[in-house]
Copies of this chain bind each other. A is one copy, B any other.
Amino acid sequence: MAAIVTETFTANGRTYHPPARPVVVACLDGCADEYLDAALARGLMPNLGRMAATGHRSLARGALPSFTNTNNASIATGAPPSVHGISGNFFLDPATGETVMMNAARYLRAPTIFAAAASAGRRVAVVTAKDKLREILAHGLHGISISAERARECRRETHGIEDVEELVGEPAPAIYSAAASLFVLRAGVLLLERGLADFLYLSLTDYVQHKHAPEEREALAFMAAVDVELGRLVGAGAVVGLTADHGMNAKQTPGGEPNVIYLATRLEELGFKGATVVLPITDPYVRHHGALGSFACIHLRDRSGAAPLARRLLEEPGIVEVHDRETAARKLELPEDRIGDLVVLAGRTAALGTRVEEHDLAALEGGLRSHGGRYEEMVPFIVSAPLSAPYARQAALDLRNFDIFELTVNGAGRS
């Protein structure tokens, strides 16, 4: 096994002092803290329990909107969306007037920790469940970048490795499955155990959390399976950091129906014209959330209508915050040119849509559980080794999920 390089590197104003042991950070997609609590209470996550007892466990603020691409980009850069530019999965590009997916590296405005670590000599591997993330996260990276979704398509020239299914010892699972996340973790374990990587980022999918509440059997079984792999990562000598991109809440009426505010329809009913509603949760993977989240952007033909519209929207039940572009950029740390004239956040139990006919509710396969707003902003933050004193002080004040690499590398890596 090659020696592990400990050269210092920097990214986006932070300096990293990597230890001479492997570093693994995993993003447990959509893993609200309640999932961990429910599994821990039943003795299903003994490895996580040990990490929390001997290392550090607390809650951290994620980035808003509490979506996957936004928060993965934050974790990958150690910076908020105002710096890295990824304000959602999907946005209305003001340059073209078209709504487009934000899953291409050209939308990323900041270098990643991965590229910097690789330049400093670390053997970096980025493993994602969904391929949508891989291009953003692998930007500028000389190393391994693979996804469970397209494991079969990995080539040495483009992905830094091939024969991923052989490495993991199992066929790549369907993307809509718990197995997709477990494949990511197992790929991480194998890359680590075989000495193919010593600086890893493993980003799961929230398929299970979208479908199941924390105390449901399926969620508990998933967390138990995750825990097995966490134990292997720690057992292989890595310092391990865990966080999530966002939490997850039921967006349902007391009767169990999707609780959705259809904003485009509502704006028409209220007589507001010239508004385009953009839902940044939109991505090609709608089966688990139907493109319904708790965050929306509104673009107005006439911006002078923003203030009265904001006031009126705040009267709607289920909507908890409405900010104009400047306030949203400042308060929610968002890139001003990618969020429209108003941003709207729904509460714990409500989701935002455009028009009912534009969402495939039948595709939800059960009750709507989703994310995107302030109530899915707080996420778990766990490091497998004790934090050094300055980082322990920071952790007792206010952590962000995108501090996870700094705390894992600098705060716990040398302990």
What is the interface of chain A, defined by CB distance below 8 A to chain B?
A: 33-34, 37-38, 40-43, 49, 52-53, 56-59, 61, 213-216, 249-250, 252, 254, 256, 314-315, 320-321, 327, 330-331, 348-349, 374-375, 378, 392-394, 396-398
Chain B positions within 8 Å of A321 at CB level: 321
| B34 and A59 contact, CB distance less than 8 A | yes
A320 touches B331 (CB 8 A): yes
Q: Which residues of B contact A249 (CB under 8 A)?
A: 398
Bound CA–CA A331/B346 (angstroms): 11
Report the minimum CB–CB distance from A373 to chain B (whole Å). 11
Nearest 3 Cβ contacts at the A-B interface:
A41-B52, A213-B396, A250-B397
Q: Assess A397 versus B252: contact at CB under 8 Å? Given A37-B37, A374-B374.
A: yes
Cβ contacts under 8 Å, A250 to chain B: 396-398
Q: Which one, B57, B61, B254, contacts A348 given CB within 8 A?
A: B61
Residues in B whose Cβ lies below 8 Å from that of A33 = 33, 37, 59
Pick the contact of A215 from B61, B349, B396 — CB < 8 Å? Answer: B396
List the B residue with the shortest CB-CB distance to A348.
B398
For A213, list chain B residues within 8 Å (CB).
396
Instruction: Tell me whether B34 and A53 are in contact (CB under 8 A).
Output: no
A and B contact pairs by CB, cutoff 8 A, 25 listed? A33-B37, A34-B57, A37-B37, A37-B58, A38-B52, A38-B57, A40-B40, A40-B41, A41-B49, A41-B52, A56-B215, A215-B392, A249-B398, A250-B396, A250-B397, A250-B398, A252-B397, A254-B394, A254-B397, A256-B393, A314-B331, A315-B330, A320-B331, A321-B321, A348-B398
Q: Could you list 15 further interchain pairs (A-B, Cβ under 8 angstroms) beyond the known A56-B215, A250-B396, A254-B397? A: A33-B33, A33-B59, A37-B37, A38-B58, A40-B41, A41-B53, A41-B57, A43-B53, A215-B396, A249-B398, A254-B394, A314-B331, A315-B330, A321-B321, A374-B374
Residues in chain B near residue A314, CB distance under 8 A: 327, 331
Closest to A41 in B: B52
Q: How many copies does the complex hold?
A: 2
Secondary structure at the A interface, as helix, strand, loop or mixed, is mixed
State A393–B256 Cα separation when bound (angstroms). Answer: 9
What is the CA–CA distance of A33 and B380 in the complex, to the nearest angstrom?
11
Give CA–CA (A136, B280) in the complex, Å.
46
Please give, as numbers and ranges, the residues of chain B lying within 8 Å of A378 by CB-CB distance. Answer: 375, 378
Q: Shortest CB–CB separation between residue A260 and chain B, in angstroms?
A: 14
User: What's the Cα separation between A38 and B40 when bound, in Å?
Assistant: 12
Give the nearest-CB partner of A213 in chain B.
Answer: B396
Q: Which residue of B lies closest to A317 (CB)?
A: B330
Give Cα A274 to B23, complex, Å.
Answer: 57
Out of B37, B252, B330, B398, name the residue touching A52 (CB < 8 Å): B37
Most B C-beta atoms less than 10 A away, residue of A52, A249, A396? A396
Known: A56-B215, A59-B34, A214-B58. A349 touches B40 (CB 8 A): no
Chain B residues with CB under 8 Å of A254's CB are 394, 397
In angstroms, Cα B33 to Cα A167, docked, is 40
With a cutoff of 8 Å between Cβ atoms, the chain B residues found around residue A349 in the complex are 397-398
CA distance A378 to B33 in the complex (A): 12
Q: Which of A57, A59, A61, A250 gathers most chain B CB within 10 Å?
A: A59
Q: How long is the Cα–Cα vector from A37 to B43 in the complex, in angstroms?
A: 14
Q: How far is the CA of A404 from the CA of B157 in the complex (A)?
A: 58
In angstroms, Cα B78 to Cα A60, docked, is 30
Task: Give the complex CA separation of A367 and B201 in angstroms.
Answer: 35
A378 to B254 Cα, complex, angstroms: 19
Q: Closest chain B residue to A49 by CB distance?
A: B41
Distance of A385 Cα from B214 Cα, bound (Å): 17
> Which of A42, A256, A315, A393 counts the most B-chain CB atoms under 10 A from its CB?
A393
CB of A403 to closest CB in B, whole Å? 12
